[in-house]
Structure 1
Amino acid sequence: MPWPRPLFHPSCRRAASSLLASAAPPCSDPGTSFLSWRDHQRPHTMEPGGPSWKCCVEDLLYWRDPRRSGAVFAGLLSLLLALTQYSVVSVFSYLALAMLALTITYRIYKAILKSIQKSDSGHPFKAYLDKDISVTQEGAKRITDAALPYVNHTTCSLQRLILVQDLVDSLKLAVCAWLTTYVGAIFNGLTLIILAVICLFSVPVIYEKYQAQIDQYVGLVRKQFDDVMAKVQAKIPGGKRKAE
């Protein structure tokens, strides 16, 4: 009885083998699985200092999960609106009382249920009590390292602007400060924070939807502003920037 014919031609098998070899994960360990290769290709968003928190904030602001974004937005807005009517001490005291009322009631309910059923279910919040929420030295160093460039940039910019290293930039700061006095006369700080929260949860979505139109108008406004600043800079003695 003759041997059965191979299913594929040898040249086809060689081509398939070379294709699989090119798609295989480049690693020196022959025991590396496809799962580890996939994890290697995926961005490490959960590593310390990685962009995981940025992705979470972006998902909140762009309403990727409407339920979560709505809960965060409603909570922040309710807290800020409560602060407009009551003092900070009163608001946080009422929040603490509400949380304690919930946890104590649930704790007593579980204790009664445990005594009736004669079971040893343990503490109802044991899973949360076992979690370590303390800040480690590595975590504190990571936060400090992340904040340090922003702090240095802010202090250096203020030094440059206040000591008039560049006259045009210092004049821009003066104009912004002058306009801010009118804003402060109309709104207080808490109202500005409420408006900022509303803008944070609405502007990114609107910009994502109408990006082309907004970019066009912003470009026109920026061009007009640059033209005006160039004219002002040309008329001010010593206002020209030195060529770098």
Structure 2
Amino acid sequence: MADSTSSCSDSSSSSSSSSLRCLSHSVVQLVQWKQPRMSAVAFGLSFLVLVSVATLSIISVVSYLLLACLCVTITFRVYKAVIQAVQKSDDGHPFRSLLERDISVSSESVRLLTDQSLIHLNWFISQSRRLLLVQDLVDSLKLAAVMWLMTYIGSVFNGVTIMILDIMFFTTPLIYQKKKAQIDQNVALLRCRLEETLQKLQNKLPGAVKRTKAE
């Protein structure tokens, strides 16, 4: 009995994991424009939502989106009902397949997502403690530099910036696919120079505060 329960739990966990992998794969395909029509629709809708949020309140945007969705579904429902009445057919509800589909979230999916989130949370807490308490001076200086840059980014971060990020989210993978060799070469060169600069900076630090490898 216990073996059957364990196997059922393992199968549910594996199905949840496969669902997450399928979702991640779908998002990657969407961003990389493997299906141009779907990517164009997703990009257009996301950009339209961001423009709406930038000009209207979030309540108005949600209300308009739901109203537009209801207008489409109600119109299609009435249209199919009229067609069925004229043709005297018995096709039933036009959204029957969607209404009968199981969209409930299983406890295994929630548990799997919680476990993965807990792993990332513990990693974040550990890294935050290490950086904020200056376990490694060089890494803490890097964090300070990044946070200093973020103060300037935050001062100009607005709705227009989010729209630019949305455009970059859908265009950067496409550009990277076309210019992969050149981009990889430039990134490798930049990384090499950055490591050389950090090594020179580390060598100039006093011996008491140089980077020490954790054993």
Q: TM-score range with shorter-chain normalisation?
A: 0.7 to 0.9
Please say if 1:52 is aligned against 2:22.
Answer: yes
Q: Deviations over 1:94-120 (max 9, x none)?
A: 001111112222233334444455554
Please say if 1:208 is aligned against 2:167.
Answer: no
Measured in 2, the distance between the counterparts of 1:90 and 1:112 equals: 32
Q: Partner residue of 1:90?
A: 60
Moved more, 206-215 or 75-84: 206-215
Q: Partner residue of 1:186?
A: 156
Deviation at 1:129, TM superposition (A): 1.1
State the TM-score, normalizing by the size of structure 1.
0.72
Change (3 A) 1:114 1:219: closer
Identity %: 43
Tell me if structure 1 keeps the 8 A contact 2:31–2:173.
yes
Q: Aligned partner of 1:181: which letter?
A: T
Q: Partner residue of 2:168?
A: 199
Question: Quick one: which of 111, 119, 123 aligns to 1:141?
Answer: 111
Measured in 2, the distance between the counterparts of 1:104 and 1:214 equals: 49
Q: Partner residue of 1:23?
A: none
Deviation at 1:90, TM superposition (A): 0.6
Deviation at 1:235, TM superposition (A): 3.1
Q: Deviations over 1:34-74 (max 9, x none)?
A: xxxxxxxxxxxx94313322221221122111111111111
State the TM-score, normalizing by the size of structure 2.
0.81
Please say if 1:230 is aligned against 2:192.
Answer: no
Question: Quick one: which of 168, 172, 175 aligns to 2:142?
Answer: 172
Q: Partner residue of 1:9?
A: none
Please say if 1:162 is aligned against 2:162.
Answer: no
Change (3 A) 1:210 1:112: closer
Question: Quick one: which of 102, 110, 113 aligns to 1:132?
Answer: 102
Deviation at 1:122, TM superposition (A): 2.7
> Which ranges of structure 1 fall in alignment gaps of 5 or more residues?
1-45
SS in 2 for 1:133: coil
Deviation at 1:177, TM superposition (A): 0.7
Tell me if structure 1 keeps the 8 A contact 2:31–2:39.
yes
Question: Quick one: which of 85, 93, 99 aligns to 2:69?
Answer: 99
> Which ranges of structure 2 fall in alignment gaps of 5 or more residues?
1-13
Measured in 1, the distance between the counterparts of 2:94 and 2:196 equals: 66
Deviation at 1:183, TM superposition (A): 1.4
Deviation at 1:133, TM superposition (A): 0.9
Aligned CA-pair RMSD? 2.2
